[in-house]
Amino acid sequence: MFPLIDTIPARRTPWMTYGLITVNVLIFFYELSLGNAVRDLFMQWGVIPQQIWHAQSPADYLPLFTHMFLHGGWGHLLSNMWALWIFGDNVEDRMGHVRYLIFYLTTGVGAALVHSGLHPLAAVPSVGASGAISGVMGAYLLMFPYSRIITILPLLFYAYMMAIPAYFYIGIWFLGQLWSGILSLTLSGASQIAFWAHIGGFVAGLGLSRIFDQRRVRSYYHRYVMRRRDVYPHQTRTLKY
């Protein structure tokens, strides 16, 4: 299944999503300019689990952030940026620009930690925005479960265009990642894809989406704080520090 677009338009311009895509593309062009020296860039700024667990200074943890702006090839970059384009704008719309950026970076770090925790002896650098984007997809699943994802479904010699519910599309995607992740643990070294980073980012996105959901925060404020202020005005005075 190849997703084309979702059916829910964003109400506001997703500046952070545009910015993240732009930064990733610019850094990728920089990678191309390095030639074979890009391997050194990956070794320095990609997540190497062995080094993360033996970090000697705060600077050694920077790859937890920088790895999500590096990509290993055109296919890697385009697939990630396409998914971010489809799912990111609506999640940013619900969270707000700054909250969304913090959420994105946090789920990316969580994804890297899960991958490092399951492969603590790995000395191969892991790069890519997949973990953070998986977190965005987790948030999208909770926020817009009944949205439709316009998808191309190849079947034999034909390709069909279908509108698939978001919960079904993302659910199938997650089960595929989970199955591949289990196989990667049983068949050590058989995969070059960090499936558990995808799983970790997705679960982090599910868990954190309610905290970062601006609509939910506003709903809590108006439902409880404002109502309490109306009922007990003398107990809700402002404190000055």
CATH classification of the domain holding 141 = 1.20.1540.10
pLDDT number for residue 30: 97
Does residue 9 form part of some domain?
Answer: yes
Beta bridge partners of 153: 160
Does residue 180 form part of some domain?
Answer: yes
pLDDT tens digits along 74-129: 999 999 999 999 999 999 999 999 999 999 999 999 999 999 999 888 889 999 99
Does residue 173 form part of some domain?
Answer: yes
pLDDT tens digits along 190-216: 467 889 999 999 999 999 999 999 775
Does residue 22 form part of some domain?
Answer: yes
Does residue 241 form part of some domain?
Answer: no
pLDDT number for residue 55: 86
Structure tokens at 82: 């396409």
Structure tokens at 188: 């050590």
Question: In percent, how much of the chain has pLDDT > 90?
Answer: 68
Does residue 240 form part of some domain?
Answer: no
Question: Given a cut of 70, is residue 26 above it in pLDDT?
Answer: yes
Does residue 82 form part of some domain?
Answer: yes
- Residues 108, 116: Cα–Cα separation, whole Å: 12
Would you say 208 and 103 are in contact if contact means Cβ atoms under 8 Å apart?
A: yes
Contacts of 160 (CB under 8 A, 6+ apart): 152, 153, 154
pLDDT tens digits along 209-228: 999 997 755 544 444 433 44
Contacts of 108 (CB under 8 A, 6+ apart): 64, 65, 67, 68, 129, 131, 132, 135, 201
- Residues 97, 89: Cα–Cα separation, whole Å: 10
Does residue 127 form part of some domain?
Answer: yes
Domain containing residue 137:
2-235
pLDDT number for residue 224: 40
Beta bridge partners of 165: 148
Residue type, 124: V
The number of domains in the chain is 1
3-state SS record for 72-140: CCHHHHHHHHHHHHHHHHHHHHHHCHHHHHHHHHHHHHHHHHHHHHHCCCCCCCECCCHHHHHHHHHHH
- φ/ψ (deg, to 5) at 238: -80, 135
pLDDT number for residue 225: 39
